[in-house]
Structure 1
């Protein structure tokens, strides 16, 4: 890990969205569609009382996730992405979309599902560690945490997807002092998913 690399902040993402409203081609990408389908299949438990999606972008995955949550809070650091997600999700009364820059901003609520998908590697190690503590603190006992990240190296990102997942795996285990239990992993050629449960 390169400790000199800083978190990619809201201005970075607003610049991306200014140039292209769908900078990762979420709307058309076959890769993204298959990954979203796998993400939903990976989640256990049917319906969750309260879900929290960190990094909702344009709200495409949120529109699938809201079917599994009685209430869903979806957040993003980009003003443009939040506006796009709010338009997409406006008809769904169980979804709230907010502008929030994790870890400096964090909701006060407790959740039985938190999804961190394709976001963790934008944070510096220090900011991801801070986010991890807040995420663990926001999960209800028995609540699920799902991580999904692209694993190939991207030079401008502070972390790799594998490094993000290992940082959370470090707080999981059989010992009662560990806040998370690591339930399962799925590794694909270009991404991985890890599911945890709050002790």
Structure 2
């Protein structure tokens, strides 16, 4: 999709996207995170907003054309690294104290959600946080936003537990924390 249109979901220009990104950044609070992961970074609009809040940010996506755009957008941000990966089949090594899953979990199958939830439970550092943001309207994807978050949470339980959920008219924002 990104090869045909550099911004197919209007991440750069949509008032909805801008408000959602503002909400996501506000949810991070004042804490600076040492090592973060953004799963499904697309063309890097959110990545560029996350970077100042994370010492080292790894942003992954399945699309090479999206990653090329993200690299250009974030060229002046030395703390950001990009990797082409098909998550959850592929995932970066190590622990993360921030993992952002924004508008991507509803593309995953039930099997992928179980694998992703188990990976989150193992990869999230002690005192780490997962931020999930997903559209709650009707989709033609394998999952709904609510269903994807519920299934992912069941797979990450009891190591990772919900700490907060906020709902707007269009999306939900969830904060999960590592408990063990």
* TM superposition score category, shorter chain reference: over 0.9
Residue aligning to 1:146: 131
- Whole-angstrom CA distance in 1 between matches of 2:62 and 2:115: 16
Is structure 2 residue 57 aligned with structure 1 residue 89?
no
User: Is the CA contact 1:144–1:195 (under 8 Å) kept in the aligned structure 2?
Assistant: yes
Cα RMSD (Å) of the superposition? 1.3
Q: CA deviation at 1:18?
A: 2.3
Residue aligning to 2:171: 191
Q: CA deviation at 1:23?
A: 0.6
Residue aligning to 1:124: 109
Q: 2:159 aligns with which of 146, 160, 179?
A: 179
Residue aligning to 2:92: 107
Residue aligning to 2:40: 55
Greater Cα offset, 39-48 or 163-172: 163-172
**What's the TM-score, normalizing by structure 1?**
0.86
- Whole-angstrom CA distance in 1 between matches of 2:20 and 2:102: 10
User: Is the CA contact 2:113–2:155 (under 8 Å) kept in the aligned structure 1?
Assistant: no
Q: CA deviation at 1:169?
A: 3.3
SS of the residue corresponding to residue 7 of structure 2 reads coil
* Structure 1 residue ranges without an equivalent (≥5): 1-15
**What's the TM-score, normalizing by structure 2?**
0.95
Whichever of the two has the greater Rg, that structure is 1
Q: CA deviation at 1:103?
A: 0.9
SS of the residue corresponding to residue 32 of structure 1 reads helix
- Aligned pair count reads 179
Instruction: Encode CA deviations 1:72-98: one digit per residue, 9 max, x unaligned.
Output: 000100000011001111111111011
SS of the residue corresponding to residue 73 of structure 1 reads strand
User: Is the CA contact 1:171–1:179 (under 8 Å) kept in the aligned structure 2?
Assistant: no
User: Is the CA contact 1:172–1:182 (under 8 Å) kept in the aligned structure 2?
Assistant: no
